[in-house]
């Protein structure tokens, strides 16, 4: 069952969410200092975003946040900067809305469960102008307060595409004329940037650090590419590898 609201931590993420017209805000809760920081760093005046603001002591704010985390069945982590936003769930999309587009930059995440990696990848995706990120319904990171904080507002600008089966989604992308490119350290193929960038519709697929792409997905991608090491370290954290791969696929 989906959550009935999103709980957002982090000044950058709160500011981006407040500016997102697709969200309906329930409550901004802050200490005096936290609200001042939001106004100072992001020039945010809450009343301009149709959001009710509650000013609490630091202790009361943490206790309120703890109750909200319990309601969402999340582990509580201390609220940074003395401020959080309770808002409507982020809007997600179906793959069908993208299959008919004349061009799109898509990213697909296969079995990436770590919140830090997921958030860092979303942030890089926003940097590279990715249109949408395919996220399987299972075996994926959750949209937790920590995720929102680390993503620094990127989720407000990159559309999340929910899919029940990523392998089935890859098949649909192939049929719709997308070039599906899987990142694999085991691939011996050096896929040139020029070959990738001549494509109008691309989906780059990334797998978990330990196992890479699942077999069901790897069998269906049209191209596999690796990032050859030039030093003694032979592998990268998946979020770092994702940024380099996006530069190859989507960079100028």
CATH architecture of 92-250: 3-Layer(aba) Sandwich (3.40)
Determine the angle formed by the axes of helices 32-42 and 11-18, rounding to 10 degrees: 70
Show the CA angle centred on residue 36, arms to residues 35 and 42, nearest 5°: 90
CA distance 48 to 219: 50
- Count CB neighbours of 148 within 10 A: 30
Phi-psi region of 111 (alpha: psi -120 to 50; beta: other; left: phi over 0): left
In the β-sheet with 92-93, what is the strand arrangement from edge to edge?
Answer: 92-93, 159-163, 132-136, 104-110, 201-207, 179-183, 223-225
Q: Which residue, among 179, 191, 178, has the nearest Cα to 225 in the 3D structure? A: 191
Give the residue range(s) of CATH 3.40.1280.10 domains in the chain. Answer: 92-250
Q: Which residue, among 214, 224, 218, has the nearest Cα to 190 in the 3D structure? A: 224
- Joined tokens for residue 145: 């307060």
Q: What is the pLDDT along the chain (252 residues), one digit of tens a residue?
A: 457 999 999 999 999 999 999 999 999 999 999 999 999 999 999 989 999 999 999 999 999 999 999 999 999 999 999 999 999 999 999 999 888 888 889 999 999 999 999 999 999 999 999 999 999 988 788 899 999 999 999 999 999 999 999 999 999 999 999 999 998 766 555 555 556 666 789 999 999 877 789 999 999 999 888 777 778 877 778 899 899 889 888 876
Strand 25-30 to 83-87 pairing: antiparallel
Phi, psi of 180 (to 5 degrees): -100, 120
Q: What is the CATH number that goes with domain 6-87? A: 3.30.1330
What pTM was estimated for this model as a whole?
Answer: 0.89
Give the residue range(s) of CATH 3.30.1330 domains in the chain. Answer: 6-87
CA distance 107 to 109: 7
């Amino acid at each position: 069952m989906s959550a009935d609201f999103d709980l957002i931590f982090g000044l950058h993420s709160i500011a981006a969410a407040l500016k997102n017209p697709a969200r309906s805000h329930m409550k901004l809760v802050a200490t005096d200092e936290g609200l001042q920081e939001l106004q100072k760093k992001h020039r945010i005046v809450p009343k301009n975003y149709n959001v009710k603001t509650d000013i609490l002591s630091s202790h009361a704010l943490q206790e309120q946040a703890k109750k909200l985390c319990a309601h969402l069945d999340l582990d509580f982590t201390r609220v940074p900067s003395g401020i959080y936003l309770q808002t409507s769930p982020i809007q997600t999309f179906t793959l069908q809305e993208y299959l008919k587009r004349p061009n799109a930059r898509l990213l697909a995440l296969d079995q990436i469960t770590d919140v830090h990696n997921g958030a860092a990848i979303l942030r890089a995706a926003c940097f590279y102008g990715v249109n949408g990120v395919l996220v399987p319904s299972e075996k994926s990171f959750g949209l937790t307060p920590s995720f929102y904080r680390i993503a620094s507002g990127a989720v407000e600008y990159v559309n999340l595409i929910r899919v029940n089966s990523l392998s089935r989604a890859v098949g649909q992308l192939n049929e719709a004329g997308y070039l599906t490119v899987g990142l694999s350290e085991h691939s011996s193929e050096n896929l040139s940037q020029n070959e990738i960038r001549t494509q109008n519709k691309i989906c780059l697929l990334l797998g978990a650090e330990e196992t890479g792409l699942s077999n069901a997905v790897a069998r269906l991608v049209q191209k596999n590419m690796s990032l050859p090491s030039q030093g003694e370290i032979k592998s990268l954290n998946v979020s770092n590898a994702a940024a380099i791969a996006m530069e190859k696929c989507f960079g100028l």
